[in-house]
Amino acid sequence: MSRFLAVFGIFLLSHLIAATPAIRRRLTGLLGEVLFTVCYSAMSLALLTWLIYAVQHAPYIELWPPNVWAYAITVVLMPIAALSFGAGLLQPNPFSIAFVARPFDPDKPGAVAITRHPLLWGLGLWGLAHVPSNGDLAAVIMFAGLGSFGFIGMWAVETRKRKMLGEEQWQKLAGSTSVIPFAALLSGRARWPTDRGTLVGGLVGLAVAVWLIFGGHFWLFTRNPLAMF
């Protein structure tokens, strides 16, 4: 367990350091915002792979036994998380994490009309969706921690981006968006996205989720999401 906790600590510390305003400003000034995001994401993926390996080799300390309802929660939430992540992956987004540098058009916000933080919602739901079906201590710490990390990240990123844009520009651009998914759409402040990037990205995300549920997850992690059904 100590090895897992050490790896988890490294994972969290690396993200806290990279998110420190002074360090982030220096790195983005050197690399540019998009390249910094790509490098940051590559580092996160490498550390996440190491963390998953550490969880798989940590002592098994059961907190609750496997249950059908727990697996059902994971199977239902994961396609939603994948859809959110996929839809927002290639969208310009001045309010949150973005991998493209295209200008943001508030009249055509794409996935940002659904929520200002589609990638972080995807990460948060991914983490929390896996808690019920993984009732051992190490897995709960990892998935609950990463899920919480995604939701806390919304507040941290939004605070930073708001300062960067300035209050007037923020209000101008953010009027057709919301933090809570679908809130802007249901209130009439935004139109349902029909752009290719959102639709194709969302469909790809759903396809990945379906692949994981029906064999991909077992192939990657030797765990079958449908084992309890």
What range does the domain containing 161 cover?
A: 63-221
Same domain for 152 and 168: yes
pLDDT at 62 over 90: yes
Domain count, the chain: 2
Same domain for 90 and 16: no
Average pLDDT over residues 28-45: 82
pLDDT at 70 over 90: yes
Same domain for 51 and 68: no
pLDDT at 217 over 90: yes
Same domain for 10 and 104: no
What residues have CB less than 8 Å from 81, skipping those under 6 apart?
121, 122, 123, 124, 125, 126, 129, 209
pLDDT at 119 over 80: yes
227: in domain: no
Q: Look at residues 18, 38, 59 and tell me which one is the last residue of a structural domain.
A: 59
72: in domain: yes
pLDDT at 198 over 80: yes
Same domain for 74 and 46: no
pLDDT at 6 over 90: yes
Distance, in Å, from the CA atom of 14 to the CA atom of 8, rounded to the nearest integer, reads 10
Angle formed by the axes of helices 68-88 and 118-129, to 10°?
160
pLDDT in tens, 142-194: 999 999 988 988 988 898 889 889 999 998 888 889 999 999 999 988 889 98
pLDDT at 115: 96
- Is the Cβ–Cβ distance between 18 and 24 less than 8 Å? yes
pLDDT at 61: 94
Same domain for 87 and 55: no
pLDDT at 208: 96
Residue 79: which pLDDT band, with cuts at 50, 70 and 90?
A: very high
Same domain for 22 and 102: no
229: in domain: no
189: in domain: yes
pLDDT at 102: 83
Range of weakest confidence among 42-51, 100-109, 191-200, 216-225: 100-109
Quote the tokens at residue 101: 């540098």
Same domain for 109 and 88: yes
pLDDT at 32: 80
Range of weakest confidence among 33-42, 59-68, 91-100, 197-206: 33-42
pLDDT at 60: 92
Going by the DSSP 8-state scheme, the letter that residue 111 receives in this structure is G
pLDDT at 41 over 90: no
Same domain for 71 and 169: yes
Angle at the Cα of 161 (from 85 to 149), degrees rounded to 5?
A: 50
Average pLDDT over residues 18-24: 75
